[in-house]
Amino acid sequence: MELREVVFKPSVFRDEGKLDIHYVPPRLPHREDQLRQLAALFSSVLTSPGSRMCRALLVGGTGTGKTAVALKLGEVMAEEARKRRINLRYVYVNSRVLKDGREVLNAVLTALVPSFPRRGLGYVDLLKALWQCLEQGDLQLVVTLDEAHYLLARQAKEVIYDLLRIHEQFRGLKRVHVALISRSEGFLQALDKATQSTLKASVVRFPKYGAGQLYDIVKARVEEAFHEGAVGDEVVRMVADLASPWGDARYALELLWRAGKYADFEGVDQVSLEHVRKAKADTHPEVRRESLYALTLHQRLLLLAIARFFKRVEKAYASLSELRREYELACEEYGVEAKERLDEDVEALHGQGLVGLLDAPAYMVERAVEELLATGRLRWPP
pLDDT in tens, 225-253: 999 999 999 999 999 999 999 899 999 99
Q: How far apart are CA 13 and CA 264, in angstroms?
A: 8
Helix (H) or strand (E) holding 299: helix 297-312
* Amino acid 358: pLDDT: 44
- What sign results for the dihedral spanned by CA atoms 17, 276, 260, 367? positive
- Paired with 56 in beta bridges are 179
Read off the pLDDT of each residue in 102-124 and give the average, rounded to a whole number: 91
* Amino acid 360: pLDDT: 62
Q: How far apart are CA 240 and CA 243, in angstroms?
A: 5
- 3-class secondary-structure state, position 145: strand
* Amino acid 295: pLDDT: 83
Q: Which of 290, 213, 291 is nearest to 248 (CA)?
A: 213
Domains of the chain (ranges plus CATH)? 32-206 (3.40.50.300), 209-281 (1.10.8.60), 289-375 (1.10.10.10)
| Higher-scoring residue by pLDDT: 97, 316 | 97
* 366, 308 Cβ separation under 8 angstroms: yes
Sequence-ordered list of residues with C-beta below 8 angstroms from that of 272, at least 6 positions apart, any chain: 235, 263
Helix (H) or strand (E) holding 352: none
Is the pTM of the predicted complex or chain greater than 0.85?
no
pLDDT in tens, 258-278: 999 999 999 999 999 999 998
Whether residue 353 is predicted with pLDDT greater than 70 in this model: the reply is no
Whether residue 22 is predicted with pLDDT greater than 80 in this model: the reply is yes
Q: Which of 1, 13, 21 is nearest to 262 (CA)?
A: 13
Crossing angle of helices 273-281 and 249-266, rounded to 10° = 120
Read off the pLDDT of each residue in 34-51 and give the average, rounded to a whole number: 97
Mean pLDDT of the chain: 88
Q: How far apart are CA 19 and CA 253, in angstroms?
A: 6
Residue 181 backbone dihedrals phi, psi, to 5 degrees: -120, 130
Most trustworthy range by pLDDT among 139-143, 159-163, 185-189, 274-278: 139-143
Q: Which of 140, 157, 136 is nearest to 148 (CA)?
A: 157
Distances (CA, A) of 113 to 76, 110, 132, 326, 376: 22, 5, 12, 44, 29
Specify the range with the lowest mean pLDDT, choosing from 136-150, 172-186, 307-321: 307-321
Distances (CA, A) of 357 to 169, 304, 318, 363: 43, 11, 11, 11
By CB neighbour count within 10 A (0-12 exposed, 13-18 middle, 19+ buried), where does 312 fall? exposed
Whether residue 110 is predicted with pLDDT greater than 90 in this model: the reply is yes
Q: How far apart are CA 294 and CA 126, in angstroms?
A: 24
* Amino acid 191: pLDDT: 87
